[in-house]
Amino acid sequence: MFVIKCPYCGERDQTEFSCHGESHIARPENPNEVNDKEWGEYLFFRSNPKGMHYERWTHDHGCRQWFNVKRHTVTDKIIQTYTMGEEKPEDDNV
């Protein structure tokens, strides 16, 4: 359980939010042209790092907006929240 700083509403309890998995996964531009392997990778395969994770959350019981969170998966510490469409912050995993 932790506190999340919604870019629109400010700091709120995590129970107001729900997580929707890894961010910055681009849908293939031409789905009809990709093969099964590429489509499977897009749908199901995730980096699942033990370290910095970029993920999408929604503020369900608040503004209902989607936004991104950069969080460490061992400490659950949130480094940054940023809005949809903003560029991915620097990757500290490497």
Partner 1 sequence: MKYSLLNLVRNSFSYHENWQEAWSSPELKKEYDIIIVGGGGHGLGTAYYLAKEFGLKNIAVLEKGWIGGGNTGRNTTIIRSNYLWDESAALYNHAVNLWEGLSSELNYNVMFSQRGLFHLAHTVHDMQEITRRGYSNHLNGIDAEILDKEQVLKKIPYINGDGRYPIMGALLQRRGGTARHDAVAWGYARAAENLGVDIIQNCEVKGINITNGTVTGLETTRGSVKAKKVGLVPAGHSSVLANMAGFHLPINSVPLQALVSEPIKPILDCVIMSNAVHVYVSQSDKGEIVVGAGSDAYNSYSQRGSFDMIEHIMGPLVELFPIFSRLKMLRQWGGIVDVTPDRSPIIGKTPIENLFINCGWGTGGFKATPGSAHTFAETVATGEPSKMAAPFSIDRHYSGALVDEAAAAAVAH
Contact residues: partner 1, CB under 8 A: 1, 14-15, 18-19, 21-22, 36-37, 39-41, 43-50, 53, 55, 71, 73-76
Q: Which residues contact 44 (CB under 8 A, 6 or more apart)?
A: none
Q: Which residues contact 31 (CB under 8 A, 6 or more apart)?
A: 39
Instruction: Report, in Å, the least distance between residue 10 CB and partner 1.
Output: 20
Instruction: Report, in Å, the least distance between residue 46 CB and partner 1.
Output: 6
Q: Which residues contact 34 (CB under 8 A, 6 or more apart)?
A: 28, 42
Nearer to partner 1, 34 or 63 (CB): 34
Nearer to partner 1, 9 or 77 (CB): 77
Nearer to partner 1, 33 or 36 (CB): 36
CA distance 36 to 42: 10
Q: Which contiguous run of DSSP H or E holds residue 39?
A: helix 36-44
Nearer to partner 1, 5 or 55 (CB): 55
CA distance 91 to 2: 22
Instruction: Report, in Å, the least distance between residue 82 CB and partner 1.
Output: 17
